[in-house]
Amino acid sequence: MMPALAMFVTDRLVHLSTVDVVIVVFYFVLVLAIGFYLKGQANTSEDFFMAGREMTAWIAGLSFLSANLGALELMGWAAASYQYGILATHWYWIGAIPAMLFLALVMMPFYYISKTHSVPGYLKLRFGESSRTLSAVSFAFMTVLMSGINMYSMALVMKVVLGWDINFSIWISSLTVAIYVALGGLRSAIFNEVLQFILIWAGALLIPILGLVETGGWTNLKAQIARNASSEYTHLWSTLGTFNGNPMGIHWTGIVFGLGAIISFGYWTTDFLVVQRVLSAKDLRAAKMAPIIGAAFKMMVPFIVILPGLLGLALLPVKLTGETAAVATGGHSYNEVLPLMLARYCGPGLLGLGVTALIAGFMSGMAGNVSAFTTVWTYDIYRALIHKDAPDEHYVSMGRWTTVIGVLISVGTAYLVMSFASIMDYVQALFSFFIAPLYGTVILGMLWKRATSAGGFWGLLAGTLSSIGMWAWVKVDPSALRYVALSPNARDMAENMYRALWSWVVCVVVTVIVSYLTKPKPESELNGLVYGVTAIPHEAEVPFYHRPAFWAVVVAVVFVIFNIMVW
Amino acid sequence: MRGRGISIWFFIGISLLVNGVLIVGAGVWEYFHPPANPVVLFQYHANIWWGAVLLLGGLFYCLHFAPNRQS
């Protein structure tokens, strides 16, 4: 360990050698260099907030996925797979792939043709200012809070894994993100996300390869898990017939209708954090291909996230426990399974690359939050409500300052969470309140021309309030779980699935009823926004192997095969 | 994205190349000076072959997407 860093280091899970530290430092230097290099290419608002709308399908697609592939995502789902087995894969397959393909083929034309800058911006065009304001304010508020929570969680991980001081981790990583996003805007965030995506794979892929070598292949791994835990841990669907027949306490209806149909569609099609990356594509075909490329790689992510968790279950000599038990006994928690596997196989150099992958994951997630927040604040709140007709340079300047301020608010939230840990549970629940109803509003807006402005607004509000109401009901009276989640045995994840489903239903029903009671917009005002009154470019002249629909079918077929393989 | 200026793939090439060189170097050093507490499957010398994969991949991207080659 270099002497300069030694003062920030306490007890740790892994020990970095000099070459590991050089690899980590080189990563920070490179991302900053990219930010400084791209500063000159972020002079207009279109450049700064939309990356000039000139990204290829590959860049937009990898960035789309990378913004979601944060370090907590990597470590959290590796921990979940140790705890719940292969069921965690649902969040990568049925909880992502259908929604990503739907975004590509059905929704992307409307987002792209309408030339909106953001998802709240689409709501403004389709439903009016009130829907946009409700959506923008809730998104901006929750995004910076979530960013702060992730920042604190990651700093905690760095403390456990590397022994780094929490303040050191928070300030170094957040200032780096602030600098490169403020300098180069969305283009810089996207460039770094693609770099981070490659590093995540380069750093994490060795674990499953060497793990499978050590266990002697998938069949032996399953047999070992059956001995250490239960054979239920390696089945994806066959244990979901009852709530208590699987480690997660969830029924297949919750996975299919709650996660697969509502939560994932809400997240992947309306969360501006990810959609913003696709809006930067250079043309409509690239915008449609980007989520399909993202889906293809998303399907592979369980290989570097879920498989290491399962390998930990089979191979680690120690039994991992929950966080509270780990602290009480001085043992290791589920969350440490990925670093433990990293330390198991990776010597000098590889360990540095693996740690860089975790840091890269954290920074890509944070840059995604910050750039999305900056765009929504500048376009949908500041320009819409505070300062309408300023020159373009003014909004670019506002974007740069908002990036810095957004990061500082996130840092503030991180310190708030450090003092009041229970805030984390509340804010994560709050974030989920908005996703499902927003999906109801957007999808009705795109596919049903009779939906009115009043219908959109009241549906969104009713869906959000009903979600908050259900959450509060279960908090006050835990026995209400039998109504909200259809079973008193349902765990937190199952409750989230069903709450999302009901809030989406409330949003859709209220939107339909209010729309029939109010006057619709004339069709001439819906051109470019709604199915049936929008001319979508045909691809008859394009060879079939260049068509997004062809590749979506390929991804869908592989998706089905994968599910059957581990049924 | 080639767009204006240096391609993102060139930056990725630089990253893979430098990491590859460092990891192969560390692996070769370990080969001749085996550690007292080696990692599991040390006998496969993963840092040498994985580092070499990164190095070659990085070299390809650096050459293929070199700024002077695109202009």
pLDDT (tens place) for every residue of chain A, 567 residues total:
444 444 455 566 778 899 999 999 999 999 999 999 999 888 899 999 999 999 999 999 999 998 888 766 788 889 999 999 999 999 999 999 999 999 999 999 999 999 999 999 999 999 999 999 999 998 998 888 888 887 887 887 788 778 888 898 889 989 999 999 999 999 999 998 999 899 999 999 999 999 999 999 999 999 999 999 888 899 999 988 887 778 877 888 888 988 888 889 988 999 888 999 999 999 999 999 999 999 999 999 999 999 999 999 999 998 888 877 887 888 888 888 988 998 899 999 999 999 998 888 888 888 889 999 999 999 999 999 999 999 999 999 999 999 999 999 999 988 888 777 666 666 666 666 888 899 999 999 999 999 999 999 999 999 999 999 999 998 899 888 888 888 777 777 778 878 888 999 999 999 999 999 999 999 999 998 999 888 888 877 888 888 999 999 999 999 999 999 998
Using the Cβ of B56 and the Cβ atoms of chain A, whether some distance falls under 8 Å is answered with no
Q: How far is CA A82 from the centre of its chain?
A: 21
- The tally of domains found in chain A comes to 1
Closest CA to A381 of A148, A185, A120: A120
CA-based nearest distance B19→chain A, Å = 6
Best of B2, B6, B7, B8 to mutate (most A CBs within 10 Å, chain A): B8
pLDDT at A1: 43
Whether pLDDT at B46 is above 80: yes
A347/B42 CB distance under 8 A: yes
Using the Cβ of B60 and the Cβ atoms of chain A, whether some distance falls under 8 Å is answered with no
DSSP string, A181-222: HHHHHHHHHHHHHHHHHHHHHHHHTHHHHHHHHHHTSHHHHH
Best of A191, A196, A209, A350 to mutate (most B CBs within 10 Å, chain B): A350
pLDDT at A68: 84
Asked whether residue A64 is domain-assigned, the answer is yes
Asked whether residue A533 is domain-assigned, the answer is no
Alpha-carbon dihedral sign for residues A178, A184, A190, A193: negative
Give the H or E element holding residue A263. none
Asked whether residue A442 is domain-assigned, the answer is no
What span, in angstroms and rounded, lies between the C-alpha atoms of A10 and A104? 47
3-state SS assignment for residue A333: strand
pTM: 0.91
A558 touches A298 (CB < 8 A): no
Asked whether residue A122 is domain-assigned, the answer is yes
Which residues of A have a CB under 8 Å from any CB of B?
17, 19, 22-23, 26-27, 30, 34, 37, 41, 52, 54-56, 59, 191, 194-195, 198-199, 202, 206, 210, 213-214, 343-350, 352-353, 356
What span, in angstroms and rounded, lies between the C-alpha atoms of B35 and B42? 10
Asked whether residue A482 is domain-assigned, the answer is no
3-state SS assignment for residue A164: strand
Strand partners, A321: A333
Q: What token pair was written down for A515?
A: 């729309």
B33 pLDDT tier (thresholds 50, 70, 90):
very high
Residue A534 DSSP label:
S
Q: What token pair was written down for A198?
A: 């490659």
**A58: closest chain B residue by CA:** B1
A134 touches A461 (CB < 8 A): yes
pLDDT at A4: 47
3-state SS assignment for residue A128: coil
Asked whether residue A216 is domain-assigned, the answer is yes
Domain span at A132: 3-38+49-429+542-565
Which residue reads 């974030």 in tokens? A431
pLDDT at A360: 85
Asked whether residue A474 is domain-assigned, the answer is no
B15/A194 CB distance under 8 A: no
Give exposure, A272-281, as e/b (b: 16+ Cβ within 10 Å).
Answer: bbbbbbbbbb
Rounded to whole angstroms, what are the CA distances from A248 to A251, A429, A483? Answer: 9, 19, 19
Using the Cβ of B25 and the Cβ atoms of chain A, whether some distance falls under 8 Å is answered with yes
**A57: closest chain B residue by CA:** B1
pLDDT at A70: 73
Asked whether residue A321 is domain-assigned, the answer is yes
Closest CA to A259 of A467, A504, A458, A423: A504
| Residue A88's CATH number | 1.20.1730.10
* Contact residues for A388 (Cβ-Cβ < 8 A; gap 6+): none
pLDDT at B2: 46
